[in-house]
A = this chain, B = another copy of it.
Amino acid sequence: MVAAQPQVWLWPRLHGQCCRKVPSVAWTKNFTPHGLSRGVSWEPFSTNLPGLKIGSSPGPSSGGNCVLKKEGIRVVSPNTASPNLTLDFLDAWDDEYDGVIIDPESLPSSANAFASALRASLTNWKLKGKKGIWLKMLKEQADLVPTAIQEGFDYHHAEPGFIMLTYWIPVEPCTLPSSPSHQIGIAGFVINDKREILVVKEKCPCSCAGVWKLPTGYIDKSEEIFCGAIREVKEETGVDTAFLEMVAFRHAQLVAFEKSDLMFVCMLKPLSFEIKIDEKEIQDAKWIALDELVGQPFYVEDQMSKRIIEICMATYDSHYDGFIAHELTSKFDGNLSYLYYKDLK
């Protein structure tokens, strides 16, 4: 019944925390498999909680990027008062930062039962000196959100299908990691043998609707930057390309939902030349002469856009080289991730 090497789920930490391939267990204090009251169980398990697949993170460390499989012990806090007194606590895991991750699959459906179990659990975790409490709730569990907020939780992040809330117990400043802050986009610079650049006019109701510009777009969740660049150009113009290098990137603050974005300017080699636009978003697309592109009032007046085109043309004319995507492994899990840099001489 007791696993030889129980494991807990490593929660990524903010400051360059390295990840581990085999996390060690953190036993809940005062817990032993014996003397458990009725209704409390302990078993090692491996489960895929929807949306809870976590890759442990070194934070932005200079190495050690890995993804841990989700394994752990479902620890239901034992009866700490008397073997005959049953307390209803929420199922949860300990993380390695003195925190707790509540199991969303075991939340009661009734708000009252949830409130009762949550209060009891919080009291218990406070006694144990726990710090950050993570509570993920699926859309179907929305009825429980008001209760969590009333008990002192706050929103952390969300996406379609779920919301994550947190509760910070200590009086010291909260050190839980922040929610994702940036969107990542690309601009694709594609030039043919006639020195004509692939451009689009977007169907937008704004004043730049008439401007010829580089194809741009946000990358998808978990998509590689260079894949996103190829995909966006293909979607908007029908032109196939291959990624060459990333020559610059822009960091803009407060562009949407008070968040920021990074836009990577990617040089792409055309593999086809026939244009077929995405009529939902694009009004027109064409291969344009450089003079016509930069002669537009928009480019004459916009420092940023003009500089980007200068950089791209310098790259095309071999006066400039950017970063190439190199696939490298990490020691911990053998997984590949991309390091963008210039080739070393």
Please report A residues at the B interface, Cβ cutoff 8 Å: 10, 12-21, 23-24, 51, 53-65, 67, 96-97, 139, 142-143, 145-146, 148-150, 154-164, 175, 177-187, 202, 204-209, 211, 213-222, 224-225, 232, 236, 247-263, 265, 280-281, 298-299, 301-311, 314, 319-323, 326, 328-332, 337-342, 344-345
Q: Which residues of B contact A298 (CB under 8 A)?
A: 63-64, 331
Q: Which residues of B contact A259 (CB under 8 A)?
A: 180, 221
Please measure, in the bound complex, the distance between the C-alpha atom of A182 and the C-alpha atom of B260, giving whole angstroms. Answer: 10
CB distance from A17 to the nearest CB of B (A): 5
Please measure, in the bound complex, the distance between the C-alpha atom of A57 and the C-alpha atom of B130, giving whole angstroms. Answer: 41
Q: Is the CB of B59 within 8 A of A254?
A: no
Q: Which residues of B contact A232 (CB under 8 A)?
A: 15
CB distance from A188 to the nearest CB of B (A): 10
Residue of B nearest to A332 (CB): B302
Q: Which residues of B contact A322 (CB under 8 A)?
A: 341-342
Q: Which residues of B contact A215 (CB under 8 A)?
A: 16
Please measure, in the bound complex, the distance between the C-alpha atom of A9 and the C-alpha atom of B53, giving whole angstroms. Answer: 37
Besides the known contacts A55-B254, A96-B205, 13 further A-B residue pairs in the complex with CB atoms under 8 A apart: A15-B216, A55-B255, A58-B255, A62-B216, A97-B205, A163-B163, A221-B258, A249-B341, A251-B338, A311-B341, A314-B345, A321-B342, A322-B342
List the 8 shortest-distance A-B pairs measured between CB atoms, nearest first.
A60-B185, A63-B305, A18-B208, A16-B216, A60-B263, A57-B255, A248-B341, A302-B331
CB distance from A68 to the nearest CB of B (A): 11
Q: Is the CB of A139 within 8 A of B160?
A: no
Q: Which residues of B contact A250 (CB under 8 A)?
A: 60, 65, 337-340
Q: Is the CB of A206 within 8 A of B20?
A: yes
Q: Is the CB of A261 within 8 A of B301?
A: no
Q: Which residues of B contact A142 (CB under 8 A)?
A: 145-146, 148-150
Could you say which of A16, A218, A304 has the most chain B C-beta atoms within 10 Å of its C-beta?
A16
Q: List 20 A-B contacts (CB under 8 A).
A: A12-B256, A15-B216, A16-B215, A17-B202, A20-B207, A54-B258, A55-B256, A57-B256, A59-B218, A60-B185, A61-B213, A142-B145, A155-B158, A155-B161, A156-B158, A177-B183, A253-B337, A303-B328, A304-B337, A304-B339
Q: Is the CB of B60 within 8 A of A217?
A: yes
Q: Which residues of B contact A304 (CB under 8 A)?
A: 62-65, 328-330, 337, 339
Q: Is the CB of B254 within 8 A of A206?
A: no
Could you say which of A15, A146, A156, A321 has the most chain B C-beta atoms within 10 Å of its C-beta?
A15
Please measure, in the bound complex, the distance between the C-alpha atom of A219 and the C-alpha atom of B310, giving whole angstroms. Answer: 29
Residue of B nearest to A345 (CB): B319
CB distance from A327 to the nearest CB of B (A): 10
Q: Is the CB of B339 within 8 A of A249?
A: yes
Q: Which residues of B contact A207 (CB under 8 A)?
A: 18, 20-21
With known contacts A155-B160, A180-B180, A60–B187 Cβ distance under 8 A: yes
Q: Is the CB of B251 within 8 A of A340?
A: yes
CB distance from A312 to the nearest CB of B (A): 9
Please measure, in the bound complex, the distance between the C-alpha atom of A55 and the C-alpha atom of B214, giving whole angstroms. Answer: 21
Please measure, in the bound complex, the distance between the C-alpha atom of A139 and the C-alpha atom of B232, giving whole angstroms. Answer: 37
